[in-house]
């Protein structure tokens, strides 16, 4: 089963609205990362939140982490059409820390 | 741009053939990880190389093998290609192996096996 599972699988919103994506994971982690992928291209690192952090901001991005619920959320405020992409959460492996486990991703479409 | 490059960008092979994919890590990074991403799915970890040695492997058969060179660039080799090997292959470089570092991904190589 997937370590990181994103929810929803697909999200369609209008420009200017906020987009919220959720991620759940199963094991203990020391950090959680969010990545973005434009269609068929490489992944772009967005933000890393450590297990002792509850919230982190980067520009229009806000990430929260709840280790008691083993969940994280990514909020994109004031979305733009250019934010349309797939978003993945990733967690490091238990036995090999640099081995990232990704979920299936959330496909975000921002309509102009 | 992450500074991680991959070649080739696209490749078409037939079943049973062998393929070599290449990755140049970001300057100063000593660790390279390889991932396979099938269409519509998240990336799956293949293996990782740290200072020229394999340092962790995912659930992939032995026909997936790799190398890391003294300049930390890396190759992924796949023998006896199967149709299901068609995917986007991503490499990522990072500075250490502790799992607390950001991994920087290249643009990927899209492999199609016919």
Question: For A2-32, what is each residue's pLDDT tens digit?
Answer: 456 778 889 999 999 999 999 999 888 888 9
CB B65 within 8 A of CB B54: no
Mutation pick from A99, A105, A106 vs chain B, by most beta carbons of B within 10 Å, is A99
pLDDT at A2: 40
Q: Give dist(CA B63, CA A102) in Å, integer.
A: 23
Other Cβ atoms less than 10 A from the Cβ of B5: the count is 16
Judge: B31–A102 Cβ closer than 8 Å, yes or no: no
Question: Nearest-CA residue of chain A relative to B37?
Answer: A40
Token output for B114: 């016919």
Chain B neighbors of A35, CB-CB under 8 A: 105
Q: Which of B12-16, B30-34, B100-104 has the lowest mean pLDDT?
A: B100-104
CA distance, residue B44 to nearest chain A CA (Å): 7
Q: What is A35-72 written as a DSSP string?
A: EEE-TTS-EEEEEEEETT-SEEEETTEEEEEETTTTEE
CA distance, residue A76 to nearest chain B CA (Å): 20
């Amino acid at each position: 089963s997937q370590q990181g599972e994103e929810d929803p699988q697909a999200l369609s919103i209008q420009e200017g609205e906020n987009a919220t994506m959720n991620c759940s994971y199963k094991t203990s982690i020391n950090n959680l990362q969010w990545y973005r992928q434009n269609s068929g291209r490489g992944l772009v690192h967005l933000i890393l939140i450590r297990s002792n952090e509850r919230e982190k901001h980067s520009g229009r991005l806000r990430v929260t982490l709840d280790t008691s619920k083993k969940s994280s959320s990514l909020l994109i405020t004031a979305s733009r059409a250019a934010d349309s992409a797939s978003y993945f959460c990733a967690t490091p492996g238990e036995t090999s820390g640099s081995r990232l486990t990704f979920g299936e991703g959330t496909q975000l479409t921002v309509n102009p | 741009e992450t500074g991680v490059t991959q070649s080739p960008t696209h490749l078409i092979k037939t079943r049973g053939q062998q393929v070599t994919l290449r990755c140049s890590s970001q300057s100063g990074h000593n660790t390279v990880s390889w991932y396979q991403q099938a269409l519509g799915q998240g990336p799956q970890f293949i293996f990782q190389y740290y200072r020229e040695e394999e340092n962790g492997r995912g659930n992939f058969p032995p026909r997936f093998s790799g190398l890391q060179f003294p300049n930390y660039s890396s190759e992924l080799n796949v023998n006896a290609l199967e149709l299901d090997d068609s995917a986007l292959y991503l490499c990522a470089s990072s500075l250490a192996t502790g799992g607390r570092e950001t991994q920087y991904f290249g643009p990927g190589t899209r492999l199609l096996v016919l």
